[in-house]
Amino acid sequence: MIRTTIMMVLVFLLSVGIAWARPLFAFKGEVDFTNNHFDLSVDIGGESSILASGHKLEGDDYRLSLNIQHLKSQAFDLSSQIESSLAVIKNQQGGPRSILGRLSSQYSLIDYKPVNELSGRFEIKDQRIYFSSLSFLHLAVNGYLSLKPPYQSDLVLELDSMGMQQFLSFWMRDNQYDSSGHVSGQIKISGPLSRLHMRGRLLAYDGHIKGLKFDNIQLNAEGIYPDLDVSQTMISRSDGVAFFVAGPIDLSDQENFKKQIKALQVSPLVNETASQTEWTIRRLKSADSTSTELKYFLRKDTDSSGPEAAMLGLEQTVEF
């Protein structure tokens, strides 16, 4: 069992290296297989370090501890003390069937500021690790990740009012966009590690990204990472102008990210029926939660006996 625990720690450390582009680190420690105890010290460079320890409790229960100091990613600087309890569930023959675990943290800091703590459950069985309501910061994870090649995954990430600055930094190296607002929604991840399929449905609201001030952005994107296709994404600016954007995005091409954004196709909000074509030009939201829409429409007159006539009109609606 202690061997399994050590492997979990190493998998975690390797995943940090892959995801955050820090594949080189040095570690040292001691493993006592007789007493089922280990201590590991990982030096990632600079002031970043991870201290890991694990020991067996009574019966088939175990305890794993991680002390993370200033673990740096492109999105944030993380410090935290993480505790995990493990319980071995045996089958009818007395062998291990699965491992049940709980995760919790304390004294967590993101960029030296206190944040919501880590909490949740997981289960290891059939060479997969299943996450159940695993939450940290403004993110919750459910689903599974295979522990053997090709590392198949089926995960759902739920975002709940994540800060726009933090959201952009996660996807962009050296994010220098001045931004505000919050992001909520869902990202589904599936497939092998080498070909992750991603589908996101996100809503950003009441903020700005550089010079763009918005009431809301309804983002839809899907594709094989890092190539995503943005479609039916609506932006409602704070001045009331609303429009759709669409087009391809390569998340790996960070140097040309601004050019990719500028290259997205922009189109007006159009709703076409058999009787009329309608354009939404302005969509305003007031402080008392009412919204006003200004629409132009081209209405076809199909009742006339002569050639089909058309009428151009203007419509303003108010919703409470």
131 with 147, same domain: the answer is: no
291 with 173, same domain: the answer is: no
Task: Give the integer Cα–Cα distance in Å for 298 and 313.
Answer: 6
Count Cα neighbours of 12 within 13 Å in the Cβ-side half-sphere.
18
41 with 119, same domain: the answer is: yes
240 with 319, same domain: the answer is: no
**Exposed, middle or buried, 158 (CB in 10 Å: 0-12/13-18/19+)?**
middle
99 with 227, same domain: the answer is: no
205 with 119, same domain: the answer is: no
- Cβ pair 98, 123 in contact under 8 A: yes
Residue 73's pLDDT band (cuts 50, 70, 90): confident
> Residue 186: is its pLDDT beyond 80?
yes
Alpha helices in 151-277, H assignment, sequence order:
164-171, 257-263
* Containing structural domain, residue 123: 1-137
* Residue bearing tokens 């994540």: 162
Which two tokens mark 21?
Answer: 């582009």
The kind and range of the H/E element at 94 are: none
153 with 199, same domain: the answer is: yes
124 with 239, same domain: the answer is: no
Q: Which of 268, 289, 312 is the last residue in one of the domains?
A: 268
285 with 313, same domain: the answer is: yes
Query: What is the average pLDDT value for the chain, to the nearest integer?
Result: 79
> Residue 43: is its pLDDT beyond 50?
yes
> Residue 20: is its pLDDT beyond 90?
no
Residue 1: what pLDDT? 46
Alpha carbon separation from 216 to 19, 237, 296 (Å, rounded): 29, 7, 22
The kind and range of the H/E element at 10 are: helix 2-19
Domain count, the chain: 3
Q: What is the pLDDT of residues 116-138, one digit of tens each?
A: 899 999 999 999 999 998 998 88
Residue 258's pLDDT band (cuts 50, 70, 90): confident
201 with 157, same domain: the answer is: yes
Q: What is the pTM of this model?
A: 0.72
DSSP state at residue 116: P
Q: How many other CB atoms sit within 10 Å of the CB of residue 117? A: 17
129 with 146, same domain: the answer is: no
Q: What is the pLDDT of residues 95-117, one digit of tens each?
A: 778 989 999 999 999 889 898 89
